[in-house]
């Protein structure tokens, strides 16, 4: 099958009839639900741009498996240039949606599992790499969206999976059969799972020999028997039910996370990519984390571009755009945003080939990239809120603005510079609110801190990759210390 259109993608998700719960009820039609639909539109943009000749070089690539033209989101990177184009693609999509477009995690999982299965096969003479290549070719040929699922609920963070009071707090194998395995557990904070055709599961931490049942990686369709999803709550989410479009800030696009429950799900042998090889589970975790931390140097920068633009427009509507301190604040926002982009480009440019033949980013620089992302978007958001002014969080509702009696007062007293409609001012302020405090903040502000691992997780990797011993040797040599 060739590249899907966005319409074909939307209909393909509709046909899955996924089991999704929200606000205590089963969602009868997730595709058209007003709360969920903006997140589906964001994923659809990855299909729409892939068919736009203007973005063909960024959005599509020749498959290393079958030589066919595929969406870059289903690709295993073949060069440092591929890694760089990934970052540029993610920035573009952030600019187009001002939200999380959800396919990064699957792409990052592909590349981590591809190289790790190759090395597991080398040690254990398994067939995981062949299994995964067949799965990936199926994904590429059908242009599927795949959710990468790594994060377990974890329970007591001080205990290994096998030591938990409830063994299901890390997803595990509960039965091994001749034709496959049965798994039970859950994956938390799953970005885009409701908009995905398949889910690619990975272990969440390095494990010891006693954790064999928890060291598992596999892929299954999202509508498999035993899988259901509990949709994550977002700030201001029910504004989407009010029927307007000003108060939501970003009416068309959004993101989502969900708790995904695996209630004794069967996985056939040809969909298994790791099954008890605990000594190599940590490598898979480390590589996926590196790829995903690289991603933030693209997607968050694209959303940052929109936020910087919105702040500049707000300053213009407020009549403050000529003030020197406003100009300086916009410069600072741009400086911070481009610094994140530099990190994403740097860890990509320093990428190297794995044993399996795909390319991996520089792990140290990828973790530096994400460490910066845990800080800079918060400052960018703070400055945007500063420029916007207090009206951003105190303005009356859209219903009041459109009320025949009240609207004229809102229009009169909240007008900014002459010639700018009050509605335009309200719209740009709501967009800033959406990105910094509302539902889009899940994919920008808060996710910048916790996505792809906590800030401390990156610091641990920076310590491992920083090669302090070598730096000490350099200093001793220059100082003349034998």
Q: 74, 104, 117, 277: which is the annotated catalytic residue? A: 104
> 227 is written with which tokens?
């899988």
Between CA 213 and CA 199 the distance in angstroms is 19
Between CA 106 and CA 186 the distance in angstroms is 17
Q: 299, 343, 347, 369: which is the annotated catalytic residue? A: 299
> 274 is written with which tokens?
């790791």
| Look-up of token digits 């993610």 | 90
296 is catalytic: yes
240-250: b (≥16 Cβ within 10 Å) or e: beeeeebbbbb
Is 60 a known ligand-binding residue?
Answer: no
* Sign of the four-CA dihedral 46, 47, 52, 56: positive
> 28 is written with which tokens?
């009868």
Q: Which of 430, 422, 421 is nearest to 388 (CA)?
A: 430
Q: How many beta carbons lie within 10 A of that of residue 56, not counting itself?
A: 13
Q: Are 37 and 245 in contact (CB under 8 A)?
A: no
Between CA 445 and CA 255 the distance in angstroms is 13
100 is catalytic: yes
Between CA 422 and CA 417 the distance in angstroms is 9
Q: 74, 116, 145, 191: which is the annotated catalytic residue? A: 191
Enumerate the H helices of 437-467 as residue ranges: 445-450, 455-465
Backbone angles phi, psi at 201, to 5 degrees: -95, 140
Q: Are 9 and 44 in contact (CB under 8 A)?
A: yes
Q: 47, 296, 341, 359: which is the annotated catalytic residue? A: 296
347 is catalytic: no
Q: 100, 343, 347, 369: which is the annotated catalytic residue? A: 100
Query: What's 237's DSSP letter?
Result: G
104 is catalytic: yes
SS3 (DSSP) at 459? helix
> 284 is written with which tokens?
């898979």
CB half-sphere exposure, 250, CA atoms < 13 A: 32
Q: How many beta carbons lie within 10 A of that of residue 320, not counting itself?
A: 16
Q: 145, 292, 317, 444: which is the annotated catalytic residue? A: 292
Backbone angles phi, psi at 252, to 5 degrees: -85, -40
Q: 129, 151, 204, 257: which is the annotated catalytic residue? A: 257
Between CA 184 and CA 264 the distance in angstroms is 5
191 is catalytic: yes
Please report, in range form, the residues annotated as the binding site.
191
Q: Which residues are catalytic?
A: 100, 104, 191, 257, 292, 296, 299, 447
Please report, in range form, the residues annotated as the binding site for FAD.
191
């Amino acid at each position: 099958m060739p590249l899907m259109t966005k319409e074909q993608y939307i209909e393909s998700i509709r046909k899955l009839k996924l089991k999704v719960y929200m606000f205590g009820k089963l969602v009868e039609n997730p595709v058209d639900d007003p709360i969920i639909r903006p997140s589906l539109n964001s994923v659809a943009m990855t299909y729409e741009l892939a068919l736009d000749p203007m973005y063909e070089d960024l959005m599509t690539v020749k498959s290393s498996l079958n030589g066919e033209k595929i969406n870059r989101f289903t690709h295993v990177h073949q060069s440092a240039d591929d890694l760089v184009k990934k970052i540029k693609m993610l920035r573009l999509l952030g600019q187009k949606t001002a939200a999380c477009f959800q396919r990064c995690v699957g792409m990052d999982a592909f590349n981590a599992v591809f190289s790790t299965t190759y090395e597991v096969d080398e040690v254990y003479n398994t067939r995981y790499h062949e299994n995964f290549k067949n799965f990936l070719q199926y994904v590429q040929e059908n242009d599927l969206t795949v959710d990468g699922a790594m994060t377990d609920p974890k329970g007591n963070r001080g205990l290994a999976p096998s030591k938990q009071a409830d063994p299901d707090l890390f997803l595990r194998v509960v039965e091994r059969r001749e034709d496959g395995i049965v798994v039970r557990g859950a994956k938390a904070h799953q970005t885009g799972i409701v908009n995905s055709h398949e889910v690619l599961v990975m272990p969440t931490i390095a494990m010891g020999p006693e954790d064999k049942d928890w060291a598992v990686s596999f892929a299954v369709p999202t509508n498999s028997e035993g899988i259901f999803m509990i949709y994550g709550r977002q700030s201001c989410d029910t504004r989407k039910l009010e029927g307007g479009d000003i108060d939501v800030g970003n009416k068309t696009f959004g993101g989502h996370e969900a708790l995904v429950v695996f209630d004794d799900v069967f996985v056939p042998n040809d969909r298994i990519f790791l099954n008890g090889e605990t000594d190599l589970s940590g490598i898979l975790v480390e590589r996926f984390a590196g790829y995903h931390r690289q991603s933030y140097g693209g997607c968050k920068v694209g959303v940052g571009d929109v936020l910087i633009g919105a702040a500049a427009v707000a300053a213009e509507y407020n009549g403050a755009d000529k003030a020197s301190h406003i100009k300086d604040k916009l410069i600072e926002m741009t400086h911070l945003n481009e610094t994140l982009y530099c990190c994403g480009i740097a860890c990509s440019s320093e990428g190297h080939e794995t044993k399996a033949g795909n390319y991996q980013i520089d792990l140290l620089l990828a973790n530096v990239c994400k460490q910066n992302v845990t800080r800079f978007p918060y400052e960018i958001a703070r400055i945007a809120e500063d420029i916007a002014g207090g009206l951003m969080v105190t303005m009356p509702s859209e219903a009041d603005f459109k009320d025949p009696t009240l609207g004229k007062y809102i229009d009169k007293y909240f007008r900014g510079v002459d010639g700018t409609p009050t509605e335009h001012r309200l719209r740009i302020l709501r967009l800033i609110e959406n990105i910094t405090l509302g539902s889009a903040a899940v994919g920008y502000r808060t996710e910048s801190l916790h996505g792809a691992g906590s800030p401390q997780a990156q610091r641990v990797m920076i310590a491992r990759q920083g090669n302090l011993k070598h730096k000490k040797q350099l200093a001793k040599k220059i100082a003349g210390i034998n």
